[in-house]
Structure 1
Amino acid sequence: MIALIRYRLLAALLLTALLAAPAWAHKPSDSYLTLEVKQGQVDGQWDIALRDLEMAIGLDQDGNGELTWNEVRARRDAIAAYALARLKLASAGKACPLRVTELLLDDHSDGAYAVLRLHAECGAAIAALDLDYRLLFDIDPQHKGLLQLRHGGQVSTAIFAPDSAHQALRVADASGWRQFGDYVRHGIWHIWIGFDHILFLLSLLLPAVLVYRDRRWQGRSTFRAAAFDVLKIVSAFTLAHSITLTLATLGMVALPSRLVESAIAASVVLAALNNLWPLFHGRRALVAFAFGLIHGFGFASVLLDLGLPKTALLLSLVGFNAGVEVGQIAIVALFLPLAFLVRNTALYRRGILGAGSCMIALLALAWLAERGLDVKLLA
């Protein structure tokens, strides 16, 4: 009975990931806010995804599923009103009224964005800036606002979420440890909602509690052997994506976004199919390293969209990568003991490993078609 309960718990975790994955097949919702403080005034730029604005206020006037510049421009006042109602600035207890001076369009790695040029007057020299950020939180609690605050030659960063919607930032002598902590948390969250990364890792980990012998999967004899196999896979994946995350974020290597996202989907397909027809059993760590190089470019897209100068970028890079590793460790710590306990059941071998890998492969094939052919298959 206890083993059955453990199996059901593990199966429920996998099923939850598979059911939630279509909604997170692509990069989660972020906006990019850059503010520059000069004496008593603030100038800035706010990049908000058109898909988010369409969801919030509606932009597609003819209902054909495609947004044009004319449709966006026609909704300029509505866009400005919606955005400004959800961002408030203050200094020394006095409000700094914001206004939109210009509306433009720009392309990010995950699609088109509205670019709002901002200006605010605070009336006196600004030593610290209070920000209240509420964009999209009422309709998308997973949304994040990524801030870059500039003053002279200094740059500080912050991440806004529903539980950190109000923040006070010094415009000088910014805390490096605070920025580091922000990006650790963002890295943890990114791996937890990056279902393509999670399913790739899980596809490689599912056989870790088994051995392929006499043309069938059998349970490993010791937890130590399973843990060592997991350690090799996770270490290889971590080393590989850390290399390309660093190179891509520092601008030393660049690959087209569509190629990276398609290759990530293909890696999930291959890892899942290997559980059904073992082709590289015993070499899964090498596969984790090879495809981990591609996944690193996917992680880097989050930081690249911030456009941070290298001084702040190095700090955010280390924090973000540390957060990704913490997130991975949490996933492994939850998965491995449960999987080991039910490894000898037919339900694990045929249900979770067999049927689960089939579901993962089919889902990843849909992602591959969407990303490679630019078609919409999943809601």
Structure 2
Amino acid sequence: MKRGSLILALLLIGVPAWAHKPSDSYLSITVQDDRIEGRWDIALRDLDLALGLDTDDDGSMTWGEVRAKHQDIAAYALSRLTLRSGGVVCPSTATEHLIDDHTDGTYGVLRFTAVCAEAISELTADYRLLFDLDAQHKGLLRLRQSASTQAAIFSSESPIQRFTIGQSSRWRQIRQYAREGMWHIWTGYDHLLFLLALLLPSVLTRDGTGWKAISGFQAALWDVVGIVTAFTAAHSITLTLAALGLIEVPSRLVESVIALSVAVAALANLYPRLLSRRWLVAFGFGLVHGFGFAGALSDLGLPQGSLLLSLVSFNAGVELGQLACVGLVIPPAFLLRHSWSYPRLILVPGSYVIAAISLIWFLERAFDLRLGIL
């Protein structure tokens, strides 16, 4: 039991320690005959990590500092993207540098052109940006050709993607968006901690003297089912409405309330009288988390010809990611529920840690602060 307690405690403490957003870049290419027109949005913080844009080390990057590195940015980025048609490399040339703001910061925009030896019928993209500096980095691709749009996700595990121009694979699309949904849960630390804060007390009940172990697995199971079902139903509603453009909420407000929801869920474990129905908390704040999921989905881009398929696939991936988290937490928690160490060393300290982390997130997001703690 002591070993199990230690493992679960390390898992709980380790999750907040990962509290950084994995970097993404956004690559959009349009294919016409033998030419490729591309736009590549790369976060300035990532370019600074790779190239040292902040030359005066004052913590901010000016347009002058970025402009002075235009040639270096183009050389660095284009050397890490190889486009081939018929097995032959299509040389790429930078044509313009811009700046754009995304929800998570400022991005450098590189426009480029690639010319192939003949009309493109099959295209292979080999993407290697930042993988040597951040193994979690992803490249999100949208490929357009006439009325057809395809999507792909590059990662260190899958850096090469192949496309048949003018054809799109529904199975490929389902797989890509479902994988992104799972990945968003596993790396969306605020969503993960919210779910974790709600799940930890599921194997316990509280009376006038304190926390007590539940009598059987069925009681814990129904509690978990209620929480996950409420959270799923709620975020599915707002994810769908926001992804289809029917409701729009400022991202700063969404991210701030998400952080606050994590704190409320954690504090409810410490002061149970605050909230008696955790499934209701899961539903209420799940509505807000759905807007957060929609933000990630909008970054990927929804193919206009298959909106519903992409939306359902992404949502299914989110649910699979949640179930994996449930399967990781509940079995060891159930086995440890009779141990004195579970409420004293895991539930209570873990809830304090989650509450502290999420309140820091809230202050940073709501007031645009950089506290530098996490």
Report the TM-score range of the alignment, normalised by the length of the smaller protein. Answer: over 0.9
Tell me how far apart the structure 2 counterparts of residues 209 and 259 of structure 1 sit (CA, whole Å). Answer: 33
User: Is residue 15 from structure 1 mapped to residue 10 from structure 2 by the alignment?
Assistant: no
Specify the alignment match of 2:87 in structure 1.
Answer: 93
Q: 1:49 to 1:312 in 2, by over 3 A?
A: farther
Are the counterparts in 2 of residues 108 and 305 from structure 1 also a CA contact under 8 Å? no
Specify the alignment match of 2:330 in structure 1.
Answer: 336
Match of 1:237 among 231, 236, 240: 231
Once the two structures are overlaid, the 10-residue window that deviates more, 290-299 or 206-215, is 206-215
Specify the alignment match of 2:31 in structure 1.
Answer: 37
Tell me how far apart the structure 2 counterparts of residues 156 and 234 of structure 1 sit (CA, whole Å). Answer: 32
Specify the alignment match of 2:51 in structure 1.
Answer: 57
Are the counterparts in 2 of residues 146 and 159 from structure 1 also a CA contact under 8 Å? yes
User: Is residue 279 from structure 1 mapped to residue 277 from structure 2 by the alignment?
Assistant: no
Query: What's the CA shift for 1:129?
Result: 0.4
Tell me how far apart the structure 1 counterparts of residues 4 and 102 of structure 2 sit (CA, whole Å). Answer: 43
Match of 2:308 among 285, 304, 314: 314
Specify the alignment match of 1:203 in structure 2.
Answer: 197
Tell me how far apart the structure 2 counterparts of residues 345 and 20 of structure 1 sit (CA, whole Å). Answer: 28
> Which secondary structure state, in structure 1, belongs to the residue aligned with residue 345 of structure 2?
helix
Are the counterparts in 1 of residues 150 and 303 from structure 2 also a CA contact under 8 Å? no
Tell me how far apart the structure 2 counterparts of residues 100 and 306 of structure 1 sit (CA, whole Å). Answer: 23
Are the counterparts in 2 of residues 143 and 161 from structure 1 also a CA contact under 8 Å? yes
For residues 130-145 of structure 1, what are the structure 2 equivalents within 5 Å?
Answer: 130-145=124-139
User: For structure 1, which runs of at least 5 residues remain unmatched after alignment?
Assistant: none
Query: What's the CA shift for 1:44?
Result: 1.4
Tell me how far apart the structure 2 counterparts of residues 299 and 5 of structure 1 sit (CA, whole Å). Answer: 36
Specify the alignment match of 1:260 in structure 2.
Answer: 254
Match of 2:61 among 67, 73, 78: 67
Tell me how far apart the structure 2 counterparts of residues 63 and 205 of structure 1 sit (CA, whole Å). Answer: 43
> Which secondary structure state, in structure 2, belongs to the residue aligned with residue 263 of structure 1?
helix
List structure 1 runs of 4+ shifted beyond 6 angstroms: none
Q: Deviations over 1:131-167 (max 9, x none)?
A: 0000000000000001101111000111000111011
User: Is residue 121 from structure 1 mapped to residue 119 from structure 2 by the alignment?
Assistant: no
Tell me how far apart the structure 2 counterparts of residues 31 and 308 of structure 1 sit (CA, whole Å). Answer: 16
Specify the alignment match of 1:151 in structure 2.
Answer: 145
> Which secondary structure state, in structure 1, belongs to the residue aligned with residue 77 of structure 2?
helix
Tell me how far apart the structure 2 counterparts of residues 374 and 18 of structure 1 sit (CA, whole Å). Answer: 20
Tell me how far apart the structure 1 counterparts of residues 333 and 47 of structure 2 sit (CA, whole Å). Answer: 42
Are the counterparts in 2 of residues 46 and 116 from structure 1 also a CA contact under 8 Å? yes
Tell me how far apart the structure 2 counterparts of residues 121 and 354 of structure 1 sit (CA, whole Å). Answer: 60
Query: What's the CA shift for 1:281?
Result: 4.5
Query: What's the CA shift for 1:313?
Result: 3.9
> Which secondary structure state, in structure 2, belongs to the residue aligned with residue 81 of structure 1?
helix
Are the counterparts in 2 of residues 101 and 118 from structure 1 also a CA contact under 8 Å? yes
Are the counterparts in 2 of residues 155 and 312 from structure 1 also a CA contact under 8 Å? no
> Which secondary structure state, in structure 1, belongs to the residue aligned with residue 59 of structure 2?
coil
Once the two structures are overlaid, the 10-residue window that deviates more, 66-75 or 261-270, is 66-75
Query: What's the CA shift for 1:314?
Result: 3.1
2:3 maps to amino acid: I
TM-score by length of 2: 0.97
> Which secondary structure state, in structure 2, belongs to the residue aligned with residue 305 of structure 1?
helix
For residues 284-295 of structure 1, what are the structure 2 equivalents within 5 Å?
Answer: 284-295=278-289
Are the counterparts in 2 of residues 86 and 134 from structure 1 also a CA contact under 8 Å? yes
Match of 1:221 among 215, 219, 227: 215
Tell me how far apart the structure 2 counterparts of residues 315 and 32 of structure 1 sit (CA, whole Å). Answer: 21
Q: Deviations over 1:206-242 (max 9, x none)?
A: 1111111115111111111001000000110011111
User: In percent, how many aligned pairs have the same letter?
Assistant: 55
Specify the alignment match of 2:167 in structure 1.
Answer: 173
Q: Report the count of equivalent residues.
A: 373
Tell me how far apart the structure 1 counterparts of residues 63 and 306 of structure 2 sit (CA, whole Å). Answer: 34
1:212 maps to amino acid: R
Q: Deviations over 1:87-107 (max 9, x none)?
A: 010100111001110000111
Tell me how far apart the structure 1 counterparts of residues 313 and 16 of structure 2 sit (CA, whole Å). Answer: 28
Tell me how far apart the structure 2 counterparts of residues 11 and 61 of structure 1 sit (CA, whole Å). Answer: 42
> Which secondary structure state, in structure 2, belongs to the residue aligned with residue 101 of structure 1?
strand
Query: What's the CA shift for 1:172?
Result: 1.3
Query: What's the CA shift for 1:248?
Result: 1.0
> Which secondary structure state, in structure 1, belongs to the residue aligned with residue 272 of structure 2?
coil
> Which secondary structure state, in structure 2, belongs to the residue aligned with residue 65 of structure 1?
coil
Query: What's the CA shift for 1:20?
Result: 1.9
2:116 maps to amino acid: C
Specify the alignment match of 1:363 in structure 2.
Answer: 357
Tell me how far apart the structure 2 counterparts of residues 329 and 157 of structure 1 sit (CA, whole Å). Answer: 26
2:96 maps to amino acid: E
1:62 maps to amino acid: D
Are the counterparts in 2 of residues 156 and 312 from structure 1 also a CA contact under 8 Å? no
